[in-house]
A = this chain, B = another copy of it.
Amino acid sequence: MAPIKEVARSEEQALSLNYIRTILQRLEDTILFQLIERGQNAHNAVMYEPGAIPALKEKEGWERSWVEWFLKETESSHSKLRRWQAPDEYPFTDVKLLPAPILPPIEYPKVLYEPAIVNVNDKIYSHYKDHLVPALTKRFGQDSDDGEYGSAAVRDVDALAALSKRIHFGMFVSESKFRSDTPTFVDAIQKRDTKKLEALITKPEVEAALLVRLEGKAKVYGQDLNSSIPEKDLKIDPDVAVQLYRDFVIPLTKVVEVDYLLKRLDGLTDEHIQALKSGQVSK
């Protein structure tokens, strides 16, 4: 058996806008699949309530919610497998609570500028529990509870990971665009011109096409093919998927993109910044 082959994605590939688009479109499918699956369970509000499961506090000293505990447990296993060393994966759990990897580190190409990396998982978790889960499980009702906290939490963890990956991928978009038009970006960053930065990374026609595509995907993948009228009896409300992207995923990705850019020059020497500004170097 050949020795384990390490990830060898090149810097060039990781920053190609074509490659990024492929990943983002594939993640739309994954996110929809996970949300459809989560929508098969009831709301189970107790899962998100800090302290609602006394045994977690008594036996594990855990004061937060069931789902947060489940995230910590899952992310701990994944930490041993060095998942959080990958440049496109960020944990929900405080890294201080996660164990060290048991595998030797992978030499990822240094694609992102480390001091600029942003983690918005707190915002993702809040939106997920406060808005998305209630919307996904609306047909069962706000007070619905099926007791299946294990299955539902597995879906939560998968869905949250997919959303997190999608939103943090914005940093690759930022870095890619920064390198392709460095002087313009350096100028806007130095002026703290967030409006300009937002305009530089935003393509309204791409966003509009995304929402149309997403609605179509929700209508296809959400069909309940066990029902006699699959195209009416949907397992996910397409509006919920569209709203999620329009009102949350796209704006928060933009926040990540702009915040990353605002920190993109932090810690660089004046000389280096000058070279970037004059277009002599692009990173």
Contact = CB atoms under 8 A, between A and B. Distances in A.
A73 B80 contact: yes
B225 A103 contact: no
B1 A49 contact: yes
Contacts of A80: 73
A26 interface: yes
Contacts of A104: 55
Interface in A224-275: 225-226, 230
A25 B226 contact: yes
Counted per complex, copies of this chain come to: 2
Interface stretch (A30-38, A119-127, A130-138, A177-185): A30-38
A198 interface: no
Interface stretch (A110-118, A145-153, A166-174, A199-207): A145-153
Contact of A81 (B37, B89, B150, B220): B150
Nearest to A106: B147
A40 to B, nearest CB: 6
A102 B55 contact: yes
Interface footprint category on A? 35 or more
A78 B150 contact: yes
A103 B55 contact: yes
A223 interface: yes
A14 interface: no
A37 B36 CA distance: 14
Interface of A: 1-2, 4-8, 22, 25-26, 28-30, 33, 36-37, 40, 45-46, 49, 52-53, 55-56, 59-60, 70, 73-74, 76-78, 80-83, 86, 89, 102-104, 145-150, 153-154, 158, 213, 216-217, 220-221, 223, 225-226, 230
